[in-house]
Structure 1
Amino acid sequence: MNNFDKIDLNQLRVLATLLETRNVTRTALRHSISQPTASRILDALRLTFNDPLLIKTNAGMTLSQRAESLRQPLQQWLAMTRAFLHHHGSGPEQAIAGHIRVASTDYGVLSVLEPAMPQILQKAPELYIDVLPLEANNFNQLAMGMVDLVISGWEPEQGKGYEQHLFEEHFCAAFHMQHPLAQAGTDTPLSVQELLDWPHLLLSVHSIDIDPIQSFLNAHGLQRKVAARRPYLLATLRLLTHTDAIGVVPRHSLHAPLQEMGLTARPLPPEISGFNYWLHWHERSRRDPVVMWFVEMLAQSPAGQPPASPAPFKNE
């Protein structure tokens, strides 16, 4: 009898996680089993496939050539199995469970994931959500099955995958509540001169500045002082509490963080435009019911309903 006739299909779920994490301990945690149990499953899989699958190196575990060839077909098999169970289950509502890998910045977590999480946790308590850093190669990772969704302000490229528009975003200038710029009130847009009077803190994603102002300044032959550049939204906001610098940041869903840190904000001059925010996924995920359910939850959350005016920045 062939070894595959004896395989436990649950072991294939563990194998998919082992090939993804390359770590027995993390795999055990994700499947709520002990580390020795995960090790025994790996030993059994090695016998089944007659291959080491995971190989120890000085830098950690690496995949054997056979394991690398199994990784994508195994993910596709799991997606097809979820789809089959979704359409042929006995109950009127199917349990949503599994593992979702989302690439995002902390802004994406704050503005998109956080508003949707209460409903997601209520409806899918068995769903494991893994947030990964937003990187330049995330779209390649979507195609390779290393990431399921990307939340970003990157405009879609035709033919590269699938996307869901979430909202149109605009920028504001944030600063501490005792700042001279706070005297005009939170409804009053900054003038260009006010923008230039104070040093700026910039946001960046994988060393690319998230900065709507520079092109405007270049077009008008203007310059400003940049005090620092930081890759994290919340860390940038926190630095504003200790300095008179201003942070040009996306304004969506920032009401709570600004209040908690003792900050306020005003809109940028109207001639400075904003950007669109998107969910991106690949063809490989299009028929995965768990991924598509997650997309629907994010699209229907309050993230898709940005405030119509700067009023949320008013101090209550």
Structure 2
Amino acid sequence: MTTNALPELKLLQLFDVLYDTRSVTRAAEALGQSQPTVSIWLGRLREQLHDPLFVRTPAGMTPTPQAEAMIGPCREVLEGLRRLAAWETGFDPATARRRLRICMTDASHITLLPRLLAAVRRQAPGVRLEAARIDGNTERALESGEADLAIGYVPWLGGGIYQQQLFTQDWVCLSCAGHPRVQGGEGQDVARDVALDVARYQAEAHVVVAAGTGAQLLEQALLRSRIERQVALELPGFLGLGAIVQSTELLATLPRHIGSVLAATHGLTLQDCPFPVEGFAVRQHWHPRFHQEPGHRWLRGLVAQLFGLT
């Protein structure tokens, strides 16, 4: 047999069935074929493997020593093909045991991660979630499978990366409840007729979150509007921001989603930003290599469900 003359799938199936039935007639019935067709297939398989494989005896079609040696590998191949055909249904959240790693911003640690973790614990208690940073290594991590998803505003990811928009963001300002110079409704959005104005915004001291692509949009807007902030504190992320605004008279300017969560959690005043800042969309991103992988599809569907997209 030459290296290219691999047996067809139907011939391997015949070999498997004939080994069990020891009858060409019963093998033909099991395969839904005529007896002459099965006889032709058997002749082709004998030719390719250079062995009679089965010989007629009073006990039926008895396998030769070569057939005995080959039945195990043949069945391994057939079982592998069956598993491949059933791969689509290979992920059962209720019984799955695997790690799912998501690159996200620290804002998503506050706004998304608790909800996502609760949903995963309900549906897939054996799944372990890991949160990782969004950085210059994110695209490579998605391609290699080191990370499953990236969730955030990540405009620099390559054009080959799949994405789904989850929600859009505009900008708000946070202040402590009862701030002596800033009007607003405690812990909720307030009407525009009592909104913070630019003059008051510039007069107040600010806490600044310097990290993230969104921060660049805010800085560009400040430059366009020729607004200078009096920065009293700069933070590398959103961790601790709510407690700081709650306990001081500092203002914070940030995307609405994280602002709303912090306002509700810490009883803060939330108002529209008094000058225009370019909004942005938060998306989930994944690599085409894993687009059809069942576990990935389940995770992406769960994230979309959390934002009312399914």
TM-score (norm 2): 0.62
CA distance in 2, matches of 1:209, 1:90: 36
The Cα shift of 1:82 comes to: 9.6
1:256-267 paired onto structure 2 within 5 Å: 256-267=261-272
CA distance in 2, matches of 1:299, 1:181: 40
1:1-316 paired onto structure 2 within 5 Å: 86-88=87-89, 95-155=95-155, 157=157, 159-185=159-185, 186-188=190-192, 189-205=195-211, 210-252=215-257, 254-269=259-274, 271-302=276-307
Letter in 1 for 2:284: L
Q: Secondary structure at the match of 2:112?
A: helix
8 Å CA contact retained: 1:163, 1:281: yes
TM-score (norm 1): 0.61
Letter in 2 for 1:87: E
8 Å CA contact retained: 2:246, 2:267: yes
CA distance in 1, matches of 2:257, 2:150: 18
Q: Secondary structure at the match of 1:273?
A: coil
8 Å CA contact retained: 1:155, 1:278: no
> Share of identical aligned residues, percent?
22
Cα RMSD after superposing both structures: 3.2
Unaligned runs of 5+ in 2: 1-81
Structure number with greater Rg is 2
Letter in 2 for 1:297: L
CA distance in 2, matches of 1:209, 1:191: 22
Structure 1 pair 82/298, CA: closer, same or farther in 2 (3 Å)?
A: farther
CA distance in 2, matches of 1:269, 1:304: 31
8 Å CA contact retained: 1:202, 1:211: no
Matched residue count: 224
Structure 1 pair 100/218, CA: closer, same or farther in 2 (3 Å)?
A: same
CA distance in 2, matches of 1:255, 1:90: 35
The Cα shift of 1:237 comes to: 2.0
The Cα shift of 1:170 comes to: 1.5
8 Å CA contact retained: 1:103, 1:132: yes
CA distance in 2, matches of 1:88, 1:298: 20
Deviations 1:159-196 (A, max 9, x none): 33111110001121111102135424423332222221
The Cα shift of 1:157 comes to: 4.7
Unaligned runs of 5+ in 1: 1-80, 306-316
8 Å CA contact retained: 1:202, 1:209: no
Deviations 1:93-144 (A, max 9, x none): 8744411111112211333333333332211111111011222321122123
The Cα shift of 1:253 comes to: 5.5
The Cα shift of 1:85 comes to: 5.3
Q: Secondary structure at the match of 1:213?
A: helix
Deviations 1:217-260 (A, max 9, x none): 32233322222221221312221123211111222164453233
CA distance in 1, matches of 2:112, 2:274: 25
The Cα shift of 1:261 comes to: 2.2
8 Å CA contact retained: 1:105, 1:133: yes
Letter in 1 for 2:198: V
8 Å CA contact retained: 2:94, 2:124: no
8 Å CA contact retained: 1:167, 1:304: no
CA distance in 2, matches of 1:230, 1:280: 27
Letter in 2 for 1:296: G
CA distance in 2, matches of 1:100, 1:176: 37
8 Å CA contact retained: 2:205, 2:232: yes
8 Å CA contact retained: 2:260, 2:270: no
Q: Secondary structure at the match of 2:247?
A: coil
Q: Secondary structure at the match of 1:287?
A: coil
